[in-house]
Amino acid sequence: MLRSSQATQFLRHDSCGTFSDVEESMMDVYDLVYEEVRRNASSFRREELTAIHKAFLCCGKHSPFGDTTDVESKTCPPGQAHNSGQDCLREIQFFLKKHMDFVTTLLGITIGFTVYGMILTSFLWFTIHFSTNLDRKGKYILRET
């Protein structure tokens, strides 16, 4: 039991490190695409940014470097351009956290069932190994009273 608990903690710690890497990568990609659209408005990057906005149901980001309403009006889904308060960086973080919580829960349940199955299997093995009745098959002796 102790080993499985340690394994769970290790997996959770390791997956959190991987999770932060994924989160940082997604934020970097969004920032890169957003800034490229803001600077030169290429149609390919604008389509990518529009797809990101549709996927995460968000619109734009809060930027200290300048006005972003022009980018948001061109890339946000209809009806969300005026509601640009939904910062995509926060929405991406929330989306990833929600899914990571789900994966962690599934991992915990899976490890629990694995440990439970190992315990049941060990009981079955000890029952078969230490049972003396199994080798008496076909050798029945009647007692006289």
Angle (CA) 46-51-52 rounded to 5° is 100
Domain count along the chain: 1
Residue 60 covered by a domain: yes
Return all residues near 49 (Cβ < 8 A) that are at least 6 apart: 33, 34, 37, 71, 75
Residue 25: inside a domain: yes
Compare 61 and 3 and report the one with higher pLDDT.
61
In a domain, 50, yes or no: yes
List pLDDT tens digits, range 9-58.
555 555 556 778 888 898 899 888 888 888 886 778 888 888 888 888 88
Both tokens of 40, joined, read 């030169």
0.85 exceeded by pTM: no
Q: How far is CA 127 from CA 10, 63, 121, 122, 133, in A?
A: 33, 67, 10, 8, 11
Cα–Cα dist 107/114, whole Å? 10
Domain span holding position 121? 2-131
Does 94 fall in a domain?
yes
User: 139 lies in a domain?
Assistant: no
- Establish if 141 belongs to a structural domain: no
Task: Judge whether 125 lies within some domain.
Answer: yes
In this structure, is residue 89 part of a structural domain?
yes
| Six-digit token string for 9 | 């903690």
